[in-house]
């Protein structure tokens, strides 16, 4: 029997994580709790912070060691910072300047931060905690809990499409997490949906450019011998 099948799912840790995530999500998004927050950056961060707090509580109470880090299995932290955070900030801000004559990199950074705080919970804790399950079941559970967390239960075609996006995202971002072990990487992929909510020609070009660069970089990196050595070290028990 392999290690994956022997591993047990900590149901109580998941329950505590999710109760905290849902409760804080309700307070920050469905009440006027943040009404007095003037900083848009801070307000956006607080609206997405609940999965991170839930995950950190579960990590602390149950002494679970996080498997995802900011740097992940990259040799230097500057690599994921430049590739997954600096690149979209520069690319999107440059396009905005050329089209509108304005530059608002803080908006892009706030969306990336929002994605990071969510991903500490969804990929950093929940999807890793459910690893013993078959992959399809893991993805469906994560996507369903992720969907419910948004507290939008209207039975509309838009919500059905959103759920489908979350299922696809849980699969795709999960693969990025397995490959990089980097919170910076998974938060960047997560943020694409929020960076480009309504596509036009320019946004589609930006989206495809970022996706192409990131996916190609992952493929090239995976083929390098040094990657497999770091991957073994990342996956080995501590």
Mean pLDDT computed over 194-208: 93
Instruction: Using CB atoms within 10 Å of the CB of residue 59, give its burial: 0 to 12 exposed, 13 to 18 middle, 19+ buried.
Output: middle
pLDDT at 148 over 70: yes
Does 4 have pLDDT greater than 60?
Answer: no
Task: Categorize the per-residue pLDDT at 7 as very low, low, confident or very high, splitting at 50, 70 and 90.
Answer: confident
Give tens-digit pLDDT for 111-124.
Answer: 999 999 999 999 99
% of the chain surpassing 90 pLDDT? 85
Q: Which residues of 175-207 are buried (b: 16+ CB within 10 A; e: fewer)?
A: ebbbbbbbbbbbbbbbbbebbbeeeeeeeeebb
Query: What pLDDT was estimated at residue 234?
Result: 54
Q: How many CA atoms lie within 13 A of 190 on its CB side?
A: 27
Per-residue CA distances from 231 to 74, 77, 105, 212, 225 (Å): 9, 16, 33, 23, 10
Q: What's the start-to-end Cα distance of the chain, in Å?
A: 20
């Amino acid at each position: 029997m392999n290690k994956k099948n022997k591993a047990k799912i900590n149901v109580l840790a998941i329950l505590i994580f999710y109760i905290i995530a849902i409760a804080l999500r309700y307070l920050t998004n469905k009440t006027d709790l943040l009404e007095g927050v003037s900083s848009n950056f801070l307000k956006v961060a607080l609206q997405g912070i609940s999965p991170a707090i839930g995950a950190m509580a579960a990590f602390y109470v149950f002494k679970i060691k996080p498997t995802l880090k900011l740097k992940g299995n990259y040799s230097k932290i500057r690599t994921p910072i430049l590739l997954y955070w600096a690149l979209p900030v520069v690319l999107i801000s440059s396009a905005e300047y050329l089209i509108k004559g304005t530059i608002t990199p803080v908006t892009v950074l706030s969306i990336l931060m929002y994605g990071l705080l969510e991903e500490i919970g969804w990929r950093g804790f929940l999807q890793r905690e459910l690893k013993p399950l078959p992959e399809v079941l893991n993805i469906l559970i994560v996507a369903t809990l992720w969907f419910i967390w948004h507290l939008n239960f209207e039975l509309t075609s838009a919500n059905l499409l959103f759920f489908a996006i979350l299922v696809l995202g849980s699969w795709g971002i999960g693969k990025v997490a397995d490959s990089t072990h980097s919170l910076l990487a998974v938060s960047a992929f997560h943020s694409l949906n929020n960076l480009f909510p309504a596509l036009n020609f320019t946004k589609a070009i930006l989206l495809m450019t970022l996706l192409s660069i990131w996916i190609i970089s992952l493929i090239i990196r995976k083929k390098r011998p040094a990657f497999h050595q770091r991957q073994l070290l990342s996956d080995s028990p501590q």
